[in-house]
Amino acid sequence: MTTGLSEFFQYNLWANLRLLDACAQLSDAQLDATMIGTFGSVRETLMHLFASEEGYVKSFTGTTPTPPLKELNTFVGFDELRRRAERSGKELITIAEQRDLSETFYLDGGTYEAQAVIVAIQAINHGIDHRSQIATLLSLQGIELPALDSWGYNDALREK
């Protein structure tokens, strides 16, 4: 079922990988800075972002990498985050292209009902929200991230 949603996930993967590339250049102090109103430090937010993305994939497929990021208490490093981001990002693209998004999911141990399309929308929204939080954390330190918005994505597509 083609919905056009896969393009959103292609953008999401591009933005996630671009964010990881930029953050890999930061110092420990920059990665560990926090502020009220954000999820946590850059490291914590990245781990949460990609653990959640694995969870969205699990909602559709029933599978997750071993061990799931959500079970790890320490930062796994940028190479591992990139590998996992590529995996979950590509899986979400495939899901958007091939799955019936009108399917009903029973989440949180069956206590919460939502259509698959809502889970897909949440995955996009969640990524944008946390990338923005990281951008805020870094901008307060005088660090500017590369463009992660749709205009930056369009420019990247045009450069190919």
Asked whether 124 and 15 are in contact (CB, 8 A), the reply is: no
**DSSP structural state of residue 74:** S
Please check if 130 is assigned to a binding site. yes
Does an H or E element contain 115, and which? strand 112-115
Phi/psi of residue 106, nearest 5 degrees? -115, 100
CA distance 66 to 63: 9
Cis peptide before 65 (omega within 30 of 0): no
From the list 101, 98, 119, 123, the residue with the least C-alpha distance to 15 is 123
Instruction: Read off the pLDDT of residues 5-25 as tens digits, 9 standing for 90 and up.
Output: 999 999 999 999 999 999 999
Level-2 CATH architecture, domain 5-155: Up-down Bundle (1.20)
Asked whether 9 and 97 are in contact (CB, 8 A), the reply is: no
Instruction: Read off the pLDDT of residues 45-76 as tens digits, 9 standing for 90 and up.
Output: 999 999 999 999 999 999 888 899 999 989 99
pLDDT > 70: percent of the chain: 98
**DSSP structural state of residue 69:** G
